[in-house]
Chains A and B, each alone.
Chain A
C-alpha cells in the first residue's frame, strides 16, 4: 500500500528526515517510536503533504501512485488520514458541518453526488457511538475550547467518519486518560480490516497493549534505526532509547 524509499526532507535548510525506508501493506499496523525531535511528526506531515517541508530525495508510493506529485487534499481523497498531534481549532465551524464538507469533497473528487443528509446523520450516530463522542461536542465549533483529550478523540471520530485506507495517528494517545485510551483503541480495532493500514506514532508501550502492532520501528535522528515486532516496544520501555542509539553506533 505504502512504500517510502530513501526519503529525505528538510525544513528551512535543515535536514530532518535523513533517508527513511518503510513499507506498509494493507491490513498491517506499524508503530513508530523514537525520542523527541527525531522526526516522527515530520514524517507524518510529509506523508500528508505539508508544504513547509522540502523533500530533497527519495520517493513515496501510495498504491503505486507517486504521492509527492499530489496536493494535500488529493492525498486525502486517495485515503490518507492524519490524526494530528496538535489538532487546530476552527472557530465558527461545527464538527458536523466540517465533516460533512470533508465527506462531500472526497465524494466529489470521486465523481459521487453529495451524501444524503439522513445517511450522513446515520453514519455520524454510528461512529459517535463507536468512540463514545458526546453530541454536545460535535455541534460545537471544531475543537474550540475542547480539552486536550476531547481533541484527540475528535481526531479518531473524524477518522472513523472518513474511513481512510491509511491512517497515521500522531501521538493520539498522549493526553488521554485510561478510559479514553481504551475507547480510542477500540475505535481503531473496530475500523481495522484487511484493506486498510495504520501507522501509530507513540511514546508509550501502553498503547500497544490495546492496538497491537505488526511492526515497531524506532526513529532516531531522521532515520529508522531499528525495526522489530511488538517485543521491541517492551525492550525500549525497559532500556530507553540510548540502548538503540548505542547499538546503531556499534553496528
Chain B
C-alpha cells in the first residue's frame, strides 16, 4: 500500500490517534522563578483574579517548604532558578517527511507498532496535507457535547467553566499539599479538564490524543476530572512512544472527584526519556495524583505503566470517603540502567465498607533502583474496611535493587487488611530452561514479564495493553544474557 493510502486506511478504520496540531505561539520567559513569573504566566493566560491569587498563595507557601528527601532516590540538587517556567508550547521543527526522522526513533515506532499517522504527529512531520485532523477532532467533540461531557484544556475550562474549576481545582490536592504540588499550583502550564454530568456513561476512552495542543502541555501539567452522580469515565494519559523533552523537571498534579455511584478509571503509560545507560540526562518526574471517592458506592481505579524517566516520584492515591466506595491501584514500574523509581499509592479509608486493592509489580534491571511505597490507612469510623495489597518485585540482574515500604495504619478493629509480597529473579536456571525449549533470552524475558504483569495489563483498554506490552519489551531489551 502507498503511504498515503495507508494513512487514509488508518483514518477510516481506527477510532482515535488523530489530532495533529500546528497552531503554536512562541513565548519563552527568561530563566528563574519569582512572583513576577507567576503573575506573567497568569496574565499570559488571561486568568481571573482568584486564580492568580491561588497561584501566588501556593508560590509563597512553596518558598517556606523544603524539598522532600524521604524517598529512596538520589539526584543532584535541583536549582529551581535554572529553569524556564514559561516556555511552552514549544515548536518542534517541522519535517517534510518521515525520511527526515531519526532512524533510531523510527525503529522504536515500528517496534511499538505505532500507526504511521501517529508516528508523523509524534515526530513532528507535517501531516496537514493528507490529514483533515480538524474534522476528526470536531466529530469527536460534537459527540461528547451532545452528552454534556466537557473535555477540554485546563486553560479553556478556566474561561468556559470557571464555576466548575473553582469548585473542584485544589479540592483534592490542596495548593500546599506538598513541595511539588505547591510548585505546580504556582506555575502550572496547562492540562486537561473533564466533567461528566449526572448519569452519563462516557462512550469512549478519553485520551489526550484527541485534545488539541495536548502534546506539549509542558512540564507542569494539571489535570482535573469530575464524575458527577452515576456517571462513568475512562481516561488515558500519556503514550507509549518515546517522549523526549528538554525540560528535565516535571511536576504534574492530577485530581479526580467521584460523586455518588460514579466511576473513574485513569490509565497512564509513562515513557519519558530515562537518560542514557550511564544515567546522564533523563526526566525527573515528581507527580501528585490523588482521587477522592466523595460519594457513596463510587469507585476510582488507577492503572499505571511506568517505564520512563530518570527519577519517578509518584503515588496515585484514593481517599475513600463515601460509604461502600472502592479504590484500586494497579501498577507496573520498570527501571533499567540507572533509573530510580519510588512509586506506590495511598488508600485512605474513611467511609464504611470501603474497599481497596493494590497490585504493584516492580521490575528492576541494570543498576536501577525500584521502590514500592504504599500506605493503607483505616480511619476510626471506617467500619468493615477491606484492603488487599500484592507487591511483587522482579529482578533481572544482581546489581539492581528492589525495595518495599508498606505502611499500614489500622484504627478500626473491624478492618481486614492483607498484604502479600514476593521477590523473584529471572535466574540463570529459568533462562536455561526457556532456552532449552527454543525460547531465546529476549523472548523469555518478554514471556515472563508479561505473565508477571498480566493482572495490571488486564486493567488497561485493549489497544493500550498491547502497546504497553511492546513498550516493556523495548525497555528491557538487552537486560539479560
Interface residue ranges, A against B (CB under 8 Å) = 48-52, 71-73, 75-77, 81-82, 84, 87-88, 90-94, 97-99, 101-102, 105-106, 109, 141, 158, 162
Given contacts A88-B430, A92-B454, contact A97 B447 (CB under 8 A): yes
Closest Cβ of chain A to B390, distance in Å, is: 12
Given contacts A97-B447, A98-B447, contact A88 B439 (CB under 8 A): no
Given contacts A93-B451, A97-B451, A98-B447, contact A73 B432 (CB under 8 A): no
B451: chain A residues within 8 A (beta carbon): 90-94, 97, 141
Closest Cβ of chain B to A203, distance in Å, is: 22
B418: chain A residues within 8 A (beta carbon): none
Do A76 and B437 have beta carbons less than 8 Å apart? yes
Closest Cβ of chain A to B423, distance in Å, is: 11
State A102–B438 Cα separation when bound (angstroms). 6
Do A76 and B433 have beta carbons less than 8 Å apart? no
Do B448 and A76 have beta carbons less than 8 Å apart? no
Which residues of B (349-393) have their CB < 8 Å from a CB of A?
none
Do A76 and B435 have beta carbons less than 8 Å apart? yes
Do A90 and B437 have beta carbons less than 8 Å apart? no
A91: chain B residues within 8 A (beta carbon): 422, 424, 448, 451-452
B424: chain A residues within 8 A (beta carbon): 91
Determine if B139 is an interface residue (Cβ-Cβ < 8 Å): no
Determine if B478 is an interface residue (Cβ-Cβ < 8 Å): no
13 contacts between A and B (CB under 8 A): A52-B428, A71-B435, A72-B432, A73-B438, A73-B440, A87-B433, A88-B433, A90-B448, A91-B452, A93-B448, A105-B440, A106-B438, A109-B438
State A91–B435 Cα separation when bound (angstroms). 16
Specify the chain B residue showing the minimal Cβ separation from A92: B451
Partner of A162, one of B422, B432, B438: B438
Which residues of B (438-478) have their CB < 8 Å from a CB of A?
438-440, 443, 447-448, 451-452, 454
Q: Is the interface of B mostly helix, strand, loop or mixed?
A: helix
B437: chain A residues within 8 A (beta carbon): 76, 98-99, 102, 158, 162
A77: chain B residues within 8 A (beta carbon): 438
Do A90 and B438 have beta carbons less than 8 Å apart? no
B439: chain A residues within 8 A (beta carbon): 73, 98, 101-102, 105
Specify the chain A residue showing the minimal Cβ separation from B449: A92
Closest Cβ of chain A to B446, distance in Å, is: 9
State A99–B448 Cα separation when bound (angstroms). 13
State A226–B437 Cα separation when bound (angstroms). 31
A90: chain B residues within 8 A (beta carbon): 430, 433-434, 448, 451
Knowing that A75-B436, A90-B451 touch, tell me 13 more A-B residue pairs with CB under 8 angstroms: A49-B435, A49-B436, A50-B432, A72-B436, A73-B435, A76-B435, A88-B433, A92-B451, A97-B451, A102-B437, A105-B438, A105-B439, A106-B438
Determine if B36 is an interface residue (Cβ-Cβ < 8 Å): no
A102: chain B residues within 8 A (beta carbon): 437-439
Specify the chain B residue showing the minimal Cβ separation from A94: B451
Determine if B278 is an interface residue (Cβ-Cβ < 8 Å): no
Do B432 and A101 have beta carbons less than 8 Å apart? no
A51: chain B residues within 8 A (beta carbon): 428, 432
A105: chain B residues within 8 A (beta carbon): 438-440, 443
B428: chain A residues within 8 A (beta carbon): 51-52
Which residues of B (387-435) have their CB < 8 Å from a CB of A?
422, 424, 428-430, 432-435
Closest Cβ of chain B to A77, distance in Å, is: 5
State A103–B436 Cα separation when bound (angstroms). 12
Which 7 pairs of residues, A with B, have the shortest CB-CB distance?
A: A92-B451, A72-B435, A76-B438, A93-B451, A102-B437, A92-B452, A106-B438
Closest Cβ of chain B to A148, distance in Å, is: 16
Specify the chain A residue showing the minimal Cβ separation from B454: A92
State A141–B455 Cα separation when bound (angstroms). 13
Specify the chain A residue showing the minimal Cβ separation from B361: A92
Closest Cβ of chain A to B55, distance in Å, is: 46
Specify the chain A residue showing the minimal Cβ separation from B446: A101
Closest Cβ of chain B to A233, distance in Å, is: 27
A49: chain B residues within 8 A (beta carbon): 435-436
Specify the chain A residue showing the minimal Cβ separation from B422: A91
